[in-house]
Structure 1
């Protein structure tokens, strides 16, 4: 229980008081047909957004793509897709990825720089029990929009690592950064960042020692192009082993696509890719 109580306060932006002294009591689970009545969501909502109104998003504005029932609760693919503008006075500027029933419900907070071209983000997460997953978008005028999806999976946060610990340590911090297709100036380009990292939740037990594996996870990713910000992500234990992030950006000319990663032990890793966008004929 000690390890679980420690993990419940890992996301300092929550301030939910979930790690109070005394035995940890299980909160009532969410019901699929009552997404707004989830007790976990009510706590997260109050902590992050206070009394600000949150409007249900239309599918054209914002939607979540994820399997209804995950094959592997420790590696659940999830995508936030949006057609909200990325430029102008009413652009999308921040996205929260929230998992109600996870020990740390705030899986990720993405901050998008102006002009990213397309506000679609894909990653992989752990799911601890059947839960509502939410994407909350903040517009530059302060409006909040939300898409919600019910997801069936359990045990992902305490699942044993998929890689031998020695091999995981040997490859720690190796990164791959790539783009799809031939980049062209002024047009959105899909990019992918892959990071070799155990992203240990602190809830998984070493099957040999019977001790909990200490939490060790990527907590921050910053993406820039030609020295200008593209995307930043504040992450927590809900992101799967070997974090994988797909995102869009708009190159205006030749430049360096650069990723900087910091984990909760303050280890830093960097990767870059030099691009020379070709103009369409």
Structure 2
């Protein structure tokens, strides 16, 4: 390889890196006629502030899997109390994916969940703040998430329904602090009503977790009221202030009237 070619290659790499660093947020919210019709139903006539200064939303510009799109909420201004958040996916058949409630122990907010995205859409997070609702979000390119085939045969999926698992991600170096990072996984098919049985080709009726609570001892950490846009086998990763309780308790119900309660012992995985 000649020296001039090497220099040109290095220059191109440097220019590409500089251009990337200067880019604005790669997938900001876009204009949406759909949101214009949804807005009043979701938040009423109340003015909506800009949450981008207090809350950062990470979601892929182009999703690897439309049925499990990660949406990560990170609070960038801890001085503002965020007591809840509504996740809205404009172009989904049921746009309100989840309504979340957060206790003081969840502040500053660091929370991730996985959603279905049915077609190219804005994914909005409307935060509840003392000053009223404030919104930010990302535009996500994905399609078919709500009708994507389930990963398991319905009979097998229903057999394990309600099983839960807790993982802790707090490094040993941080174990002396009261802040913890955890992940809760819930086994549930969360059928959207738009998926077909791969054998009969009939639509599988909607059947999903509609309410969930996570507690540490007698202290509520967060709640989730969900719809068909929450992914199969829901996963929630979050940080919280540990009050010393030895376990997290998860209580959930689904649209078929089933109730699930499980106590998950805390454990550090370093």
Q: What range is the shorter-chain TM-score in?
A: 0.7 to 0.9
Q: Which residue of 2 aligns with 1:45?
A: 39
Consecutive unaligned residues of structure 2, counting only runs of 5 or more, are 1-26
Deviation digits for residues 62-114 of structure 1, max 9, x if unmatched? Answer: 1211111112111111211113437xxx5110111110000000101110012
Cα 1:34/1:246, change in 2 over 3 Å = closer
Cα 1:119/1:250, change in 2 over 3 Å = same
Provide the aligned C-alpha RMSD in A.
Answer: 2.2
Deviation digits for residues 137-195 of structure 1, max 9, x if unmatched? Answer: 111x2422211211101111111111122221221111102222257576221111101
Q: Which residue of 2 aligns with 1:35?
A: 30
What displacement does 1:244 show? 0.5
Give the alignment partner of residue 85 of structure 1, picking from 67, 78, 90. 78
| Distance in 1 (alpha carbons) for counterparts of 2:100 and 2:29 | 26
Consecutive unaligned residues of structure 1, counting only runs of 5 or more, are 1-31
Cα 1:93/1:34, change in 2 over 3 Å = closer
Give the alignment partner of residue 121 of structure 1, picking from 102, 111, 133. 111
SS in 2 for 1:176: strand
- The alignment status of 1:215 with 2:215, answered yes or no, reads no
| Distance in 1 (alpha carbons) for counterparts of 2:207 and 2:132 | 34
SS in 1 for 2:224: strand
With the length of structure 1 as denominator, give the TM-score of the two structures. 0.79
| Distance in 2 (alpha carbons) for counterparts of 1:225 and 1:166 | 33
Give the alignment partner of residue 100 of structure 2, picking from 104, 110, 113. 110
- The alignment status of 1:171 with 2:160, answered yes or no, reads yes
- Structure label with greater radius of gyration: 2
Deviation digits for residues 12-60 of structure 1, max 9, x if unmatched? Answer: xxxxxxxxxxxxxxxxxxxx88834x232123220122221112223x5
Deviation digits for residues 177-217 of structure 1, max 9, x if unmatched? Answer: 22222575762211111011110000011132121001111
| Distance in 2 (alpha carbons) for counterparts of 1:207 and 1:276 | 39
Give the alignment partner of residue 71 of structure 1, picking from 64, 68, 82. 64
Give the alignment partner of residue 196 of structure 1, picking from 187, 200, 211. 187
Cα 1:254/1:157, change in 2 over 3 Å = closer
| Distance in 1 (alpha carbons) for counterparts of 2:267 and 2:115 | 33
Q: Which residue of 2 aligns with 1:3?
A: none
Alignment of 1:1-281 (within 5 A): 35-36=30-31, 38-58=32-52, 60-85=53-78, 90-139=80-129, 141-181=130-170, 184=175, 187-275=178-266
